[in-house]
Structure 1
Amino acid sequence: MMTVRATAQDARDPLSGVTVADVADPGPPEAGWVPVDVRAAALNHHDLWSLRGVGLPADRLPMVLGTDAAGTDPDGRAVLVHAVLSTPGWEGDETLDPARTLLSERYPGTLAERVWVPARNLVPKHPDLTWAEAACLPTAYLTAYRLLFTAAALRPGRTVLVQGAGGGVATAAIVLGRAAGLRVWVTSRDEAKRARALEIGAHAAFATGERLPEQVDAVVETVGEATWGHSLRALRPGGTVAVAGATSGAMPPADLNRIFFRSLRVVGATMGTRDELVAVQEMLVATGARPVVDDVLPLSAAPQALARLAGGDVVGKLVLTVGAPARREP
């Protein structure tokens, strides 16, 4: 089967370690796992971090990349793959399991013609969503849902600032926030990305670090060092910065005086639960909102797609298809 694997790691040149190759189906790694024939898989920054050597030990190479997929189970049913793997017998929030892992960290990931997952990690795919749209949900849209509605506990009418418009989680937060009745503000260094954010639902767009008209209830933070100070200054007293990434660096000044003096909350999230994946799909179906897909390419074009992701030349999600011709989403 065709796979996209990390065969080497280089912090400065992560793309040098990407290999597209046909390999034998490894079969189930553990009892109770089932195969999913992948129809579409979305790319994430997690794939680039793995190629840089972050979160994926070198002794596990080669490793099939990918945490997002939609496909068919052994009975031919259309499914989404929930990529957060808790230990057998774990009860409750899978992301809180100290021994949990993600697909492509300990077990082969989703950038392949077939992926094996625990049967409990499958979610029925709603027919209203295309394969490409469904493949966007398990990482970016699940993470955005958790940041907005679990970590920040936002409700209709509240204001959220989304840092770094254009990224997968940031774009998902715009789409979901607007659909939920939030007032959504965004930032970006790029004027074209600010304009695109307004097109997909943001109420206002600002240059990175720009002073806002008023303080906000919550900030969705996936950029890290470059925007952290602005995120804290943007919050009203008692507000929440919900963190799910640090693409510009993970060691900004903490500014603890501001955090405790203004009673700010800093809440982290790694993806979300299976129940939240069910909920975000139901939300999209009920509201008519849809994931923003930048482009759809064949699985064999993964190196080029990863290069675009690394270069920041993306608004929304890049999706790879298996067994179907590539096409650009309208």
Structure 2
Amino acid sequence: MKALFHEGKAGMEGLTYGDIAEVNPGPGEVRVKLKTAGMNHRDLFVLHRHNPTDPALIVGSDGAGVIDAVGEDVSGVEVGTEVIINPGLGWQNVSDAPPEGFEIVGLPFHGTFAEQIIIPAENAVAKPEHLTWEEAGVLSLAALTAYRALVTRGQVKPGMNVFIPGIGGGVATFLLQFAIAAGAHVYVTSRSEEKRAKALQLGAKAAIDSNEDWTQALEGVKMDLVIESVGAATMNQSMKQLRRGGTIVTFGSSTGDLVELNLREFFYGQYNLLGSTMGSAEEYKAMLDFISQHKIKPVMDKMYPLDQFADAFKRLEEAKQLGKIGFYVE
């Protein structure tokens, strides 16, 4: 089968689009003939985390397609079923943190940038009917990350003020849509005028230029909840926007991991700081129910044929996307 795999060299130089051996599903597994797949920033990290001297690894965590083979001891799943892939492996129930052994499709196991993928049967979930193949293929990782950060960890409620620095990427656009659907008032930032305009179109109450003074731009409005993924560059600015007793949930650190924190301001402010990452199968199904109820769709940036992977990776690396980038893989 055709696939995009990584071996031999670190980074982009190790990516090859070519033929790789097909395999059949084992006990408890299904094989999905993929139609579409979606990119995430994780794909960029994998290119440096996968040891190039290890066996070839098919990259990618998101995808959707049709089951075309079923292994032994699998029930309730039939060939021909249209499915979307839950990329989280080994995390079934909602818990405070992922269990030991939790992994994500695309490292250390083969991912979705291929014509086929073999996964545990429980990770092949019925595709929401309101989504196209393009939308379904790019949904899972970003939407699940957003759902857990906002709903499980952030405990979003109607009427809350929610702040999302760095609007434009996949998780951030889901956070915006989910928070609005939950009845919150959403404020965002971006350096891009185009991304700010899109956020307002999607329902944000205000979209601030990242280079502005955020406190001044918000004119005294304080936030109940901030969802942070930018990292060191914005964490302290984000905290200044919180009301006393407010909460920051962080799930990323694209601008650096180390932050100087004024502990006295933090404890006098009675702030809450929570970490989050991905989510459980239970949360995944709750997220799919939520998007089906509210008819939420991913904000789509651009779809590429899989053999044009270099252009797609460059667009993601340069943060030019507005929403999700995807591949046609069949």
Q: Return the TM-score normalized by structure 2.
A: 0.89
Name 2:90's counterpart in structure 1. 86
Percent pairwise identity: 34
- Residue 76 of structure 1: CA displacement? 0.8
> What SS does the aligned partner of 2:118 have?
strand
CA displacement, residues 215-257 of structure 1 (integer Å, 9 cap, x when unaligned): 1011111111111111111111221111111111111223333
Name 1:224's counterpart in structure 2. 231
- Residue 59 of structure 1: CA displacement? 4.9
1:263 aligned to 2:270? yes
1:20 aligned to 2:17? yes
CA separation in 1, counterparts of 2:190 and 2:309? 26
> What SS does the aligned partner of 1:257 have?
helix
Deviates more, 1:40-49 or 1:99-108: 99-108
- Residue 58 of structure 1: CA displacement? 4.5
Name 1:32's counterpart in structure 2. 28
CA separation in 2, counterparts of 1:161 and 1:281? 23
CA separation in 2, counterparts of 1:27 and 1:210? 54
- Residue 91 of structure 1: CA displacement? 5.9
Matches within 5 A, 1:29-108: 31-53=27-49, 56-74=50-68, 75-86=79-90, 93=95, 96-108=98-110
CA separation in 1, counterparts of 2:133 and 2:54? 30
- Residue 118 of structure 1: CA displacement? 0.7
Q: 1:184 to 1:64 in 2, by over 3 A?
A: same
> What SS does the aligned partner of 2:117 have?
strand
CA displacement, residues 299-330 of structure 1 (integer Å, 9 cap, x when unaligned): 2222211110001110000011123xxxxxxx
- Residue 269 of structure 1: CA displacement? 1.6
> What SS does the aligned partner of 1:96 have?
coil
- Residue 93 of structure 1: CA displacement? 4.2
Code of the aligned partner of 1:52:
H
Q: Is the 8 A contact 1:95 1:273 kept in 2?
A: no
1:298 aligned to 2:305? yes
- Residue 121 of structure 1: CA displacement? 1.3
Q: 1:83 to 1:60 in 2, by over 3 A?
A: farther
Matches within 5 A, 1:271-310: 271-310=278-317
> What SS does the aligned partner of 1:267 have?
strand
Q: 1:321 to 1:293 in 2, by over 3 A?
A: same
1:160 aligned to 2:162? yes
Name 1:6's counterpart in structure 2. 6
Q: 1:237 to 1:313 in 2, by over 3 A?
A: same
What stretches of structure 2 of length at least 5 have no aligned partner? 69-78
Aligned length: 315
Matches within 5 A, 1:124-203: 124-203=126-205
> What SS does the aligned partner of 1:218 have?
strand
CA displacement, residues 4-51 of structure 1 (integer Å, 9 cap, x when unaligned): 1222564xxx333322111111444x6322111111111000000111
CA displacement, residues 143-174 of structure 1 (integer Å, 9 cap, x when unaligned): 11111111100111101111111111111111
Code of the aligned partner of 1:112:
A
CA RMSD of aligned residues (A): 2.0
Q: Return the TM-score normalized by structure 1.
A: 0.89
What stretches of structure 1 of length at least 5 have no aligned partner? 324-330
Name 1:328's counterpart in structure 2. none
Q: 1:188 to 1:32 in 2, by over 3 A?
A: same
